Structure 1
Amino acid sequence: MWKGILYILLLSILLFTSKVKAQTDSISQKIYKNNILPSPSFTYSPRTDLVVGVYCLYQFKFDKKDNLARPSNLSFYYGTSYKGHTFLLTEHTFLTLQEKYFLKGIIEYKNTPEPFYGIGNQSSSEEYLNVNYYSFEVKERILRQYQQSKFFGLKIRYMHIFNVSYQDRDNNEIPAPHLKGNAGGYYPGIGPVWMLDKRNSILTPTKDYYLDISATAYLNSNGGAFGTVEIDGRRYIDFRKDSKRVLALQVVAKNTFGNVPYTELALLGGKQILRGYTLGRYRDQHSIQAQAEYRFNVVGRLGMTTFFGTGTVYDELSDLQFLKAALGTGLRFNINRKDPANVRIDFAWSLIDKNNGIYITLGEAF
């Protein structure tokens, strides 16, 4: 009898061990496949006109067998328009083995004629200057994971604005307005960053949440110094647990202090948040913006979104009553089934001012 029981126990242990080994081998053999994804890119607004570009995204892992780390990415972008815009950008998010380190940064050069409407949230859309300048920016975050999904580290940024000139609405040369940083300058900065990142994907998150808090102290080449405090909070709700019905929420805030150049003030709008407003349509010492986006699958790789955003820039808390708002809809096409990366086409309209925008690029807005 005891021999029979012992035999059964030994047989069970052998079967269990072989099953565990098979599972382990299966996991160890799961190798991530790196991807190179090219895409056209277009943005349009009445002020900036059509900007045409090419975008290339490289998704990869430093260790293809590391199933704990989310994929890293490296992108390159070139864009131009007949109005004289030139953009050259490389951006990266690197996650090392088991996400021990999180590195995120950009290197960007651009020649960007743009309208300047003044400072404050009550500026007129009919009164503006045309500003021409060149800029070069390097920004890097170096974060270390100290607990699961929690990171702490440094943000380093260098911004240089040069060859600045001003024209009136008829493109006649005019003297520089009396503004801080009206002739450009360079602004090196450094400061701490704390990040909580539980997103399931860097490029196309569908669940969990993200919180980023940073403070940066800058030297101003024109004299003095200034600082910024920025907060970015996001929440993703996957209603069906299959990534086909997702509500994405975001709140961002920026506060500036000290001898701040007008180009470094808090800005409203752009292709990420409050789409429909040209980036910099409103600017001031502080900003707060929020948006909600509902993303849903239509069929196969094709999806759609609807989104709404609101926010404002302000100097005094009483200015918060002057909220701006925008809404829009968009299309999504997934060009990578194994590690989703969407080409997005967004159509956005402002509700308070006569602003609109069309954005075609790779990756979600947030």
Structure 2
Amino acid sequence: MVIVAGAIPAPAQDEYIRREAEQAEKVAKSKESDDFVVAPIPILNPTLGAGLALGAAYLYKIDEGSYPSVTGIGALYTDNKSKAIAIGQSANFKGNDWKIIGGFGAYDLNLEFYGVGSGAGDDDRFLPVNQQGWFGGVKALRRIKGHWYGGLSFAYVQVESTFDLSGLLPGGFVELPSDVEFDSAIATLGLVGEYDSRDNQFSANTGSLLKATISTANENIGSDFDFTSFRISYNHYWSFKNSIVVAARGSGCAVPGDAPYYALCKFGVFPDLRGYVAGRYRDETMLAFQGEIRWHFSKKFSAIGFAGVGRVAKSASDFNFEHLLPSVGTGIRYLLSPKNGLNISLDYAYGKDSDAVYFFVGEAF
């Protein structure tokens, strides 16, 4: 698990690796600089099941005016026999004018493939799929002006997918292979833009965060597929009476072209939206919107409520009010680091014909 793997635009089935890896980074950054920390993080989500992620990180400041940089290594294992290991580096320097993030890792995940499109997810039928491979990537951002950053990214992901077809066999009428394997790789180059005016990177009370990425995969850079992906998200935060925070988030994804199933837009990839198995609903485009109220009722504890809605579709012209996917839930927070505003979080979310419990460090968004 890469301590800074959140910067790597890997396929979304790796998003949970990224998410759990980010937790180790968040715990690490809450400590004093020039420090070594080990962070055990429980995993509880509807995609990988229950397990444990363990991250170790060394924090240090390259220069006094910058956020701490992090060098880390980590691993995870869950009760459905999914596992991953990775190393990563996050460097902030020149008074935070530069941010460079990169990492490398390997994974072996047991997932569920429901098909493509809203109808496939509604059918509640899936094929077990094992995905193995490795990934690596780097992202470099330079401050343009004020809160604006721009930069480039590169990522490479190798995926070996094995589908278990035993559930489709006709009971001995004819002999069929029990599994089918597909090997592929994706290499992407991307343009990245960010705007970040949040007052706290772990649990914002005011400000906003905008992220936009345009990435292209091409055979000329080592990819087995040619396609372009567009991803954008915007978070905004309002504070009322020092005890109430209202947060709103909108996100969109479009992956037209010759993209493999695992690179499509996926509903339920944390945090868009909670309450769903990641990838149960997937297609070439996705929109998701959600709001959250956070009530700090004591110095250490907060209660939250959230709701959202979204959907996937073949293209933007197919979006309508049919096949909407709702999400609603509640949660509690415990303030782990008062100095940094870092919380331990427990959420329960209910979606369309499904629910989920999440335990993580930090906020959903």
Q: What's the CA shift string for 1:138-162, capped at 9, x where partnerless?
A: 2322010021111111011111102
Tell me the residue number matched to 1:191. Answer: 190
Gaps of at least 5 residues in structure 2 are: 1-30, 170-176
State how far apart, in whole Å, the 2-side matches of 1:137 and 1:291 are. Answer: 30
Please show how residues 249-288 of structure 1 align to structure 2 within 5 Å. 249-288=248-287
CA contact (8 A) 2:209 2:236 kept: yes
- Answering whether residue 80 of structure 2 is matched by residue 79 of structure 1, we say no
Structure 1 residue 330: deviation in Å? Answer: 1.3
Tell me the residue number matched to 1:148. Answer: 146
Structure 1 residue 59: deviation in Å? Answer: 5.9
- Answering whether residue 114 of structure 2 is matched by residue 117 of structure 1, we say yes
Tell me the SS of whatever aligns to 2:162.
Answer: strand
Tell me the SS of whatever aligns to 2:295.
Answer: strand
After superposition, the Cα gap between the structure-2 partners of 1:295 and 1:104, relative to the gap in structure 1 and judged at 3 Å, is: farther
CA contact (8 A) 2:43 2:359 kept: yes
After superposition, the Cα gap between the structure-2 partners of 1:328 and 1:83, relative to the gap in structure 1 and judged at 3 Å, is: same
Tell me the residue number matched to 2:27. Answer: none
**TM-score, length basis structure 1:** 0.79
- Answering whether residue 231 of structure 2 is matched by residue 230 of structure 1, we say yes
State how far apart, in whole Å, the 2-side matches of 1:271 and 1:51 are. Answer: 17
Structure 1 residue 195: deviation in Å? Answer: 1.3
After superposition, the Cα gap between the structure-2 partners of 1:171 and 1:315, relative to the gap in structure 1 and judged at 3 Å, is: closer
Tell me the residue number matched to 2:333. Answer: 332
Gaps of at least 5 residues in structure 1 are: 1-31, 177-181
Please show how residues 129-208 of structure 1 align to structure 2 within 5 Å. 129-162=127-160, 164-168=161-165, 170=167, 174-176=178-180, 183-208=182-207
Q: What's the CA shift string for 1:263-319, capped at 9, x where partnerless?
A: 101111033221111110111111111111212212222222211121111113234
State how far apart, in whole Å, the 2-side matches of 1:298 and 1:81 are. Answer: 34
Tell me the SS of whatever aligns to 1:112.
Answer: strand
Matched-pair identity in %: 20
Q: What's the CA shift string for 1:37-80, capped at 9, x where partnerless?
A: 624322132x64323333556665433x42xx455556654321
Please show how residues 205-220 of structure 1 align to structure 2 within 5 Å. 205-219=204-218
AA aligned opposite 1:113: N
Q: What's the CA shift string for 1:295-348, capped at 9, x where partnerless?
A: 221222222221112111111323432210111111212221211221111111
**TM-score, length basis structure 2:** 0.79
AA aligned opposite 1:117: Y
AA aligned opposite 1:305: I
AA aligned opposite 1:144: R
Please show how residues 13-28 of structure 1 align to structure 2 within 5 Å. none
After superposition, the Cα gap between the structure-2 partners of 1:88 and 1:155, relative to the gap in structure 1 and judged at 3 Å, is: same
After superposition, the Cα gap between the structure-2 partners of 1:153 and 1:48, relative to the gap in structure 1 and judged at 3 Å, is: closer
State how far apart, in whole Å, the 1-side matches of 2:290 and 2:88 are. Answer: 24
State how far apart, in whole Å, the 1-side matches of 2:111 and 2:168 are. Answer: 12
AA aligned opposite 1:274: L
Pick 1 or 2: higher relative contact order, CA cutoff 8 A, min separation 6: 2
Please show how residues 82-101 of structure 1 align to structure 2 within 5 Å. 82-90=79-87, 93-101=90-98
After superposition, the Cα gap between the structure-2 partners of 1:60 and 1:206, relative to the gap in structure 1 and judged at 3 Å, is: farther
After superposition, the Cα gap between the structure-2 partners of 1:110 and 1:323, relative to the gap in structure 1 and judged at 3 Å, is: same
Structure 1 residue 83: deviation in Å? Answer: 1.9
Q: What count of residue pairs does the alignment treat as equivalent? A: 321
Tell me the residue number matched to 1:49. Answer: 49
State how far apart, in whole Å, the 2-side matches of 1:336 and 1:202 are. Answer: 13
Tell me the SS of whatever aligns to 2:256.
Answer: strand
AA aligned opposite 1:85: S
CA contact (8 A) 2:72 2:89 kept: yes
- Answering whether residue 304 of structure 2 is matched by residue 318 of structure 1, we say no
State how far apart, in whole Å, the 2-side matches of 1:106 and 1:239 are. Answer: 39
AA aligned opposite 1:96: F
State how far apart, in whole Å, the 2-side matches of 1:148 and 1:324 are. Answer: 37
State how far apart, in whole Å, the 1-side matches of 2:204 and 2:44 are. Answer: 23
**What is the Cα-based RMSD across aligned positions, in Å?**
2.6
Q: What's the CA shift string for 1:216-240, capped at 9, x where partnerless?
A: 1112567551110111111111223
Q: Which moved more, 1:100-109 or 1:165-174?
A: 165-174
